[in-house]
Amino acid sequence: MHEKTIAQLSAGLAAGEFSSEELTRAFLERVERFNPQLNAFITVTAEAALARARAADQRRHRDEAGPLTGVPIVHKDIFCTEGVRTSCGSRMLDRFVAPYDATVVEKLNTAGAVMLGKTNMDEFAMGSSNETSLYGPVHNPWDLAMVPGGSSGGSAAAVAARLTPGATGTDTGGSIRQPAALCGITGLKPTYGRVSRWGMIAYASSLDQGGPMARSAEDCALLLGAMAGFDPRDSTSADRPVPDYTALLDRPLDGLKIGLPKEYFGEGLDGAVAQVVEEAIAEYRKLGAETVEISLPNSRLAIPAYYVIAPAECSSNLARFDGVRYGHRCENPKDLLDLYTRSRGEGFGPEVTRRILVGTFALSAGYYDAYYLKAQQIRRLISDDFQRAFQQVDVIAGPTSPTVAFKLGEKVDDPITMYLSDIYTIAVNLAGLPGLSLPVGFAAGLPVGLQLIGDYFAEDRLLHTAHRYQQATDWHLRAPAAFA
């Protein structure tokens, strides 16, 4: 059963081939068996999952089941889940039990999906290798010595190792797409505002966006259909209808114009990765798409702008973790300042601390104009680059990440190199556009992801573009041998 996609499981459940309880039990057994090698989960909610699975089966008996009813999923531990620990991968929230559900969690619950547990992640979603988690690194199922990418590394590894058919993730600078690429799965970061941020612990509010991670584009379409939509509790959520993403998947690609930004194929891109990406693009041409070279001239400014804006917002967003009302509090504080400095010093790891300090500096009097304001201007330039490109092409394609998965520990002490692994994904967040990563082959035995970037609210086009490729190829069906 674990080899099936969500679409197949959904059909199996509908046909009565197996019950949700059987399915859930099968996946829980795999979690128990394989998670110790992967460390993809922070919390497994086996009993609650089985109860939910039984409820889903009853719902099916009442003929009230939808496509996701009874389908197991996992949530990145950044989404608040009522009554369940929501740690954000941090000592700060190690013992924090959320008193409410995030909108994404609530919507998937309503759809009848069965949560197996909460997945590991970089602390407060800050990282590209899942090594900053309090709970230790996640291992890449394709090679346990390698990182799974981050920050949604636990979700990516769990899907790749078939411990769950689908997962939620969040993406602030590439945190869905980059681990999806490094683990050989499909992941979608929707347009900013498409998925509610209510209950999703904020890293950088103007960039954060939740999205689906699964094996195929079709599965992502099913998940996104349930996750997306206007939420009156999130002032930045978009008040526009959610299309049926699965209805549009099968259109042919004839006449599709794919833009290839020359900046995404230059210096810094691993040769083997480039070759795999070129092959994927050749496949698209075979499928009827037309490709044109385009330019996104301000691409090189994306990382510096991001590392001003994201830390600035995070320095403010994480101020609430002060040891006063909830979360980690130091022992025997001697006064207020001691309470603040020790609670925060002990509660946050080094990468989170680094970003808080950088952001605090960038917003300080005398530096604001030079850093924050300048970064916002760059952000506008980057958005304009994309808008110019979309006058010419329907989607933009390129590598998701400049390299395949790297070794655990390899870049931990070199934040700048680590930051560069998001070089192709970050601009998409700055512009607020949707981006998707799909597996398109292997380099040195490790998966390579192709990134597709669409115009605002063109999730349907991205999913359809990825789906047609997946109909013609089988890279997304490959499983790591140890977890097949």
Partner 1 sequence: MEWETVIGLEIHAQLATKSKIFSGASTAYGAAPNTQACAIDLGLPGVLPVLNRDAVRMAAMLGLAIGAEVARRSVFARKNYFYPDLPKGYQISQYELPVVQKGQLTIDLDDGSSKVIGITRAHLEEDAGKSLHEDFHGRSGIDLNRAGTPLLEIVSEPDMRSAKEAVAYMKKLHQLVVYLGICDGNMQEGSFRCDANVSVRPKGEPKLGTRAELKNLNSFRFVERAIEFEIERQIDLIESGGKVVQETRLYDPDKGETRSMRGKEEANDYRYFPDPDLLPLVLDDAFIDAARAALPELPDVKKQRFTAQYGLSAYDAGVLTTSRGLADHYEATVAALGGEPKLCANWVMGDFSAFLNKDNRDIADSPVSATQLAGLLRRIQDRTISGKIAKEVFEAMWAGEGDADAIIEKRGLRQITDTSAIEKVIDDVIAANPEQLAQYRAGKDKLFGFFVGQVMKLSKGKANPQQVNDLLMEKLKA
Which residues are the active-site residues?
76, 151, 175
Binding partner 1 (rule: CB under 8 A), the pick from 147, 200, 395, 462 is 200
Q: Which is nearer to partner 1, 368 or 387 (CB)?
A: 368
Q: Does 442 bind partner 1 (CB under 8 A)?
A: no
- Beta carbon of residue 375, minimum distance to partner 1 (angstroms, whole number): 11
Helices 217-227 & 103-110, crossing angle to 10 degrees? 110
Nearer to partner 1 by Cβ, of 171 and 322: the residue is: 322
Tell me how far, at minimum, the Cβ of 365 lies from partner 1, in Å.
Answer: 5
Interface characters, 231-260, with partner 1 (x: CB under 8 A):
-xxxxx------------------------
Q: What is the Cα–Cα distance from 128 to 135, expressed in whole angstroms?
A: 16
Nearest distance, CB of residue 206 and partner 1, angstroms:
4
Least distance in angstroms from the C-beta of 312 to partner 1: 6
Query: Within 42-81, which residues bind partner 1 (CB under 8 A)?
Result: 79-80
Contacting residue, 83, 99, 266, 409, with partner 1 by CB under 8 A: 99
Compute the distance between CA of residue 172 and CA of residue 460 in angstroms, rounded to an integer.
21
**CA nearest neighbour of 297 among 376, 207, 434, 389:** 389
Distance CA 449, CA 438 (A): 5
The least distance separating partner 1 from the CB of residue 367, rounded to whole angstroms, comes to 10
93 binds partner 1 (CB under 8 A): yes
Least distance from C-beta 369 to partner 1, angstroms?
11
Residue 445 found at the interface with partner 1 (CB under 8 A): no
Q: How far is CA 25 from CA 70, 118, 314, in A?
A: 12, 16, 39
CA–CA dist 96, 320 (Å, integer): 14
- Residue 457 in the binding site for partner 1 (CB under 8 A): no
State which residue, 232 or 350, has the beta carbon closest to partner 1: 232
Contact 378, 303 (CB under 8 A): no
**145, 324, 357, 477: which one contacts partner 1 (CB under 8 A)?**
324
Q: Does 358 contact partner 1 by CB under 8 A? A: no
Residues 359-378 binding partner 1 (CB under 8 A) are: 360, 363-365, 368, 372
Quick one: 201 or 242, whose CB is closer to partner 1?
201
Size of the site for partner 1 (CB under 8 A): 44
Which of 442, 444, 451 lies closest to 475 in space, CA to CA? 442
Residue 345 within binding range of partner 1, rule CB under 8 A: no
**Who contacts 113 (Cβ-Cβ below 8 Å, separation ≥6)?**
68, 69, 71, 72, 73, 166, 226
Does position 218 interact with partner 1 (CB under 8 A)? The reply is: no
The Cα–Cα gap between 44 and 60 comes to 25
- Write out the E strands in 192-295: 209-214, 257-261, 290-294
Position 300, amino acid: R
Residue 357 binding partner 1, by CB under 8 A: no
Other C-beta atoms lying within 10 Å of the C-beta of residue 229? 17
Q: Cβ(207)–Cβ(309) under 8 Å?
A: yes
Q: Which of 202, 37, 39, 35 is closest to 134 using CA atoms? A: 39
Residue 325 makes contact with partner 1 by CB under 8 A: yes
How many residues are there in the chain?
A: 484
Query: 399: which strand partners?
Result: 450
Helix ranges restricted to H, 254-301: 271-286
**Selected range binding partner 1 among 57-65, 322-330, 396-404, 426-434, rule: CB under 8 A:** 322-330
Which residues would be at the binding site for partner 1 (CB under 8 A)? 79-80, 86, 88, 93, 96, 98-100, 102, 197-202, 204-206, 232-236, 312-313, 315-316, 318-322, 324-326, 336, 340, 360, 363-365, 368, 372
